[in-house]
Structure 1
Amino acid sequence: MKNLAGLMKQASQMQARMEEVQTSLANLTVEGQSGAGLVKIALSGKGEMRSVTIDPKLAEPGEVEMLQDLILAAFADARVKSEAAAAEEMRKVTGGLDLPAGLKLPF
């Protein structure tokens, strides 16, 4: 019974640490870019868009379609970086153990 209590205590500590990481990820900012930096998008560590920066030379009427494509590409780049940062922070908490997304401890 002593081991079970210790295990539950560890699980509770891990959950508290995971909640700290989630807060830290909300404060993290990652930037994705496309078109050699002509379009930049900043996301939180949770994937929420914070800002879009567009080089003024892309605002020409004939460049709108390219601008739309670059925004999508910059968002995809930022999203990949955001997910990688979140996964790395979670690995630190779990000691390298990959847990399913959204798993809350204790069970």
Structure 2
Amino acid sequence: MKFPGGGNMQAMMKQAQQMQQRLQEEIAAIRVEASAGGGMVTVKMDGQKHCTGVVIDPEAAGDAEMLSDMVMAAFNEAVRKVEDETQKKTAGMLGGMGLPPGLF
């Protein structure tokens, strides 16, 4: 099927699939680290928001409630960082397609 201006729908769909696959690969490669409590708790996370590591300063282990709060804060910050990185990669890729910002 030809579109006005000579565009080929099948070629466009193939290009979109390739870009989507590349984007998924780039998101999978994201690695972030977030800390709380002045570095007493550090959470590492990948692009799929899977926790890949937690480091807890032994001094933080004495107060369970405070430790819980710091782990939660570090985890939430790591999720925010993954979302920011994902958004940047998506915007960069969609910008290369000439699509208007905010379309996706």
Counterpart residue identity of residue 74, structure 1: A
Contact 1:29 1:45 (8 Å CA) reproduced: yes
- Structure ranking higher on relative contact order (CA contacts 8 Å, 6+ apart): 1
Aligned-residue CA RMSD (Å): 1.9
Q: Which runs of 5+ in 2 are unaligned?
A: none
Name the % identity.
Answer: 30
* TM superposition outliers: structure 1 runs of 4+ over 6 Å: none
Q: Which runs of 5+ in 1 are unaligned?
A: 101-107
> What is the CA distance between 1:32 and its match in structure 2?
1.3
Deviations 1:47-76 (A, max 9, x none): 11111111111122xx11100010000000
> What is the CA distance between 1:17 and its match in structure 2?
1.3
Counterpart residue identity of residue 27, structure 1: A
Alpha-carbon distance change, 56 to 80 in structure 1, aligned in 2, over 3 angstroms: same
> What is the CA distance between 1:42 and its match in structure 2?
0.8
Give the number of aligned pairs: 98
Please give the alpha-carbon distance, in whole angstroms, between the structure 2 residues aligned to 1:51 and 1:34.
14
Q: Does 1:48 align with 2:50?
A: yes
Q: Does 1:70 align with 2:70?
A: yes
Contact 2:26 2:89 (8 Å CA) reproduced: no
Instruction: Using structure 2 for the length normalisation, give the TM-score.
Output: 0.82
> What is the CA distance between 1:3 and its match in structure 2?
2.0
